[in-house]
Amino acid sequence: MLLEKIQNKNSIVGVVGLGYVGLPLLLEFIESGFRCIGFDVDPQKISKIEGRKTYIRHISEKRIAKAVDSDRLEVTTDFTRLTSADCIVVAVPTPLDKHQQPDLSYIINTSETIAQYIRKDQLVVLESSTWPGTTMEVMKPILEKSGLKYAEDFYLAFSPEREDPNNPDFSTKTIPKVVGANDDISRDCAKALYDAVIVQTVPVSTSQAAEATKLLENIFRSVNIALVNEMKMILDRMDIDVWEVIGAASTKPFGFMPFYPGPGLGGHCIPIDPFYLTWKAKEYDMATRFIELAGEVNTYMPYYVVDKVGDALNTRNKSIQGSKVLILGAAYKKDIDDMRESPTLKLIEILEYKGAHVDYNDPMISCMPKVRKYQYDMQSIDLTPENLKKYDVVLISTNHSSYDYDMICEHANLVVDTRNATKGVTKGREKIVKA
């Protein structure tokens, strides 16, 4: 019956956690004709949606307004409403704690809340990135505390999220979605749910396989980024431009995929998810050597960049101690306003530790929000020729498209570029140092 309800779009879809993953997903379900309930513990998010306002830059207010006006959307902090949903999709954070261990507290809290309101014939799907086994070893026992039995009374699946915020080529709807469950009904129901909104659904035999798929994808990125970061350091010592080499290698039509060096890893996924596997692998007496090595190289990158800043200042008879540094870009990648795990945070810490006075500019982040580990009281500096001239060095950490790199290089005293953002610049090239 649940399967039929989903296929006919008569089921009500609840989405728990309305962040970067949950909000676009909720909108996709609404736009495909489902009735939906969005849940979040943050009342500000709820009132923003109700007021037809956005809190994620690449999700338009027009889209939110249309969803609210559809009369098929309810958003709430009232979790008793979970009972009304037929399908409950969970997209809550999965960070690391201060000892770099998985922090499953959000999944555990959400599962405990769902367990209070779960009823027969509901499907629960976890989307948060996590170690293989979380759905069956952590979520299932908590949900069963309700007295209902998995695969008899309620259904449970895992479907990893592949959201790439602000990617112009792919959106939630057009990225194929993997779905895994340990029984046929859960898998069929979860597949039907995503089939209704997403271009392609890829079923796998277990939730553990689906959980591991997400980790493999992000470990692949972390390891390859580390490889190219190591190449950058080696080639720099040899006075070979790594960017030119990557460009040339990319012309090979098979067997090569370009990855790009940078000031370090950022975002909620790539720096974090691999260590979820490291933690779980220990239970099986296994070491994750590639993950550790990649982590070591990528973690070193901000230190390498600061060394390059020091070398660049040295050519002007200056030192980091006492210099004024303007960092361009606070977000972890270009053209987004998300600064979770951004390498800029680490760059500020190291530069300030070495005695620099640091400011930043980011057209999308007017003041630094509090994030895991860091709370800087800083406001974005206006990017004017006068302001640029005041700094001993301008450090490009994030290559936002809106930056006028010609203007920056013309007026800055010295530019350290970690992203090859200045490749097309014609004026002031002699001031550029790649890092």
Ligand X SMILES: NC(=O)c1ccc[n+]([C@@H]2O[C@H](COP(=O)([O-])OP(=O)(O)OC[C@H]3O[C@@H](n4cnc5c(N)ncnc54)[C@H](O)[C@@H]3O)[C@@H](O)[C@H]2O)c1
Residue closer to ligand X by CB (options 137, 404) is 137
For this structure, is 269 an active site residue?
yes
Which tokens in the block code for residue 139?
A: 């979520």
Nearest CA to 230 among 293, 278, 275, 306? 293
CB neighbours of residue 129 within 10 Å: 23
Q: In whole angstroms, how close is the CB of 132 to ligand X at the nearest point?
A: 14
Query: CA torsion angle for 65, 67, 72, 73 (degrees, to 10)?
Result: -80
Site for ligand X, residues 109 to 148, rule: CB under 6 A: 109-110, 127-129
Q: Binding residue for ligand X (CB under 6 A) from 11, 49, 74, 93?
A: 93
- Closest distance between ligand X and the C-beta of residue 193, in Å? 17
**331 in contact with ligand X (CB under 6 A):** no
Query: Does the protein bind ligand X through residue 40 (CB under 6 A)?
Result: yes
Q: Round to whole Å and give the CA distance between 399 and 328.
A: 8
Number of residues that bind ligand X (CB under 6 A): 27
Stretch that binds ligand X, among 88-96, 141-149, 190-198, 404-412 (CB under 6 A): 88-96
DSSP 288: -
Stretch that binds ligand X, among 59-67, 85-93, 221-229, 409-417 (CB under 6 A): 85-93
- Listed residue (266, 249, 290) closest to 419, CA to CA: 266
* Rounded Cα–Cα distance for residues 333 and 108 (Å): 30
Q: Please give the Cα distance from 166 to 336 (Å, whole number).
A: 7
Which single residue is written with the structure tokens 């008879």? 317
Cα–Cα distance between 180 and 72 in angstroms, integer? 28
Stretch that binds ligand X, among 159-167, 170-178, 188-196, 293-301 (CB under 6 A): 159-167
Nearest CB to ligand X, comparing residues 95 and 423: 95
**Does residue 38 bind ligand X (CB under 6 A)?**
no
Active-site pick, 36, 87, 189, 269: 269
Pairing of strands 35-39, 122-126: unpaired
Q: Does 266 bind ligand X (CB under 6 A)?
A: no
Catalytic residues: 269
The binding site for ligand X (CB under 6 A) comprises: 16-22, 39-42, 45, 91-94, 106, 109-110, 127-129, 161, 163, 165, 268-269
